[in-house]
Amino acid sequence: MSYGRISLQYHLSPGGEGAEVIYALRNNEKLSQNILNELAGSGQKIRKYYQKRGTANPNQDYYYMLRDTTPYEAVIIEYGFLDNTKDANKLKNNYKQYAQDVVEAVLNYKGIVPDLEYYTVKAGDTLYSIGKKFNISVEKLMQLNNLSNSFLSVGQKLKVSGEKPDISESISNIYVVKAGDTLYSIAKKHNTTVENLKALNDLTSNLLSIGQKLTVPSMNVYVVKAGDTLYGIAKKYNTTVDNLMKLNNLTSNLLSINQELLIP
């Protein structure tokens, strides 16, 4: 399972403070948002996330690491400015936490609950939000950490018990073209767009050949449990009932326990 490539670096240009993330033209901003949100929770100032187009060809990424890592989702994370005393001190004292923040952001982006023994409290955290993140009740958190109240402090370490996520990536991101396939039909099947498929595969036309291998967005498989409904599953994974029905060729809302559903 590949999550892409991440480059970590520091600003060398003068006159700024805080973290930035640069992401590829072919991708969206969600992963970059996750990363900056995690860093902000650890006290780092946040500047922006953005894309940077090439000067010779504005249809290509400026940075070769973003441009040449198709189809992987690549980001460049700039933690801060070394010529800024505040940033330099933060980087010196918090680089391990910042690295952990990036890992947690990627796991969150992939829908994976990290199996950690301890969690470091960040700004804005509550026992409820931490418990929800690690599938553990507030009462259990308080017991594990001998807490007598719900007050938390930034940097405090809490013992947690992570559980395995209830989704797992199992659908290959390689699709082999069959007779009758078109970019439109493949895009519809994999809940994406023709433009996205062409960008992922560096295609300049819509022509396909039988046996051709295409990179397609990965999907997850969800195993239906007792009490599940299409509405509840759609809400949990930020999609719609219609999308789930189309993706899984369903003709009704009826589900059965242990039924496997594709999740975009």
Structure tokens at 174: 């390689």
Q: Is it the case that residue 21 has pLDDT exceeding 90?
A: yes
Q: Round to whole Å and give the CA distance between 217 and 205.
A: 19
Give the dihedral sign, CA 29/34/38/40.
Answer: positive
Q: Is it the case that residue 13 has pLDDT exceeding 70?
A: no
pLDDT at 161: 67
Residues 42, 97 contacting (CB under 8 angstroms): yes
Question: What is the DSSP code string of 61-93?
Answer: BSSHHHHTSTTS-EEEEEEEETTSHHHHHHHHH
Q: Is it the case that residue 177 has pLDDT exceeding 70?
A: yes
pLDDT at 77: 92
Q: Round to whole Å and give the CA distance between 215 and 207.
A: 15
Q: Is it the case that residue 22 has pLDDT exceeding 90?
A: yes
Tokens 């291998």 belong to 213
| pLDDT top residue among 167 and 20 | 20
Strands of the sheet with 19-23, listed across from one edge: 5-11, 74-81, 19-23, 46-50
Residues 210, 179 contacting (CB under 8 angstroms): yes
Query: Over the chain, what is the mean pLDDT?
Result: 80
Query: Tens digit of pLDDT for each residue in 179-198?
Result: 888 998 888 777 777 887 88
Q: Round to whole Å and give the CA distance between 5 and 73.
A: 6
Tell me 53's DSSP state.
B
Please state whether the predicted TM-score (pTM) of the whole model is above 0.85.
Answer: no
Residue 183: how many other CB atoms lie within 10 Å: 20
Burial class (CB in 10 A: 0-12, 13-18, 19+), 254: exposed
Query: Tens digit of pLDDT for each residue in 236-253?
Result: 877 888 888 877 778 888
Query: Tens digit of pLDDT for each residue in 102-161?
Result: 888 888 787 766 556 778 888 778 888 888 777 788 888 888 888 888 888 888 888 886
Burial class (CB in 10 A: 0-12, 13-18, 19+), 66: buried
pLDDT at 244: 83
Q: Round to whole Å and give the CA distance between 173 and 227.
A: 31
Query: Tens digit of pLDDT for each residue in 113-123?
Result: 655 677 888 87
Structure tokens at 125: 């955290």
Residue 14: pLDDT band with limits 50, 70, 90: low
Rounded alpha-carbon distances, angstroms, from residue 75 to 27, 108, 125, 163: 9, 16, 26, 28
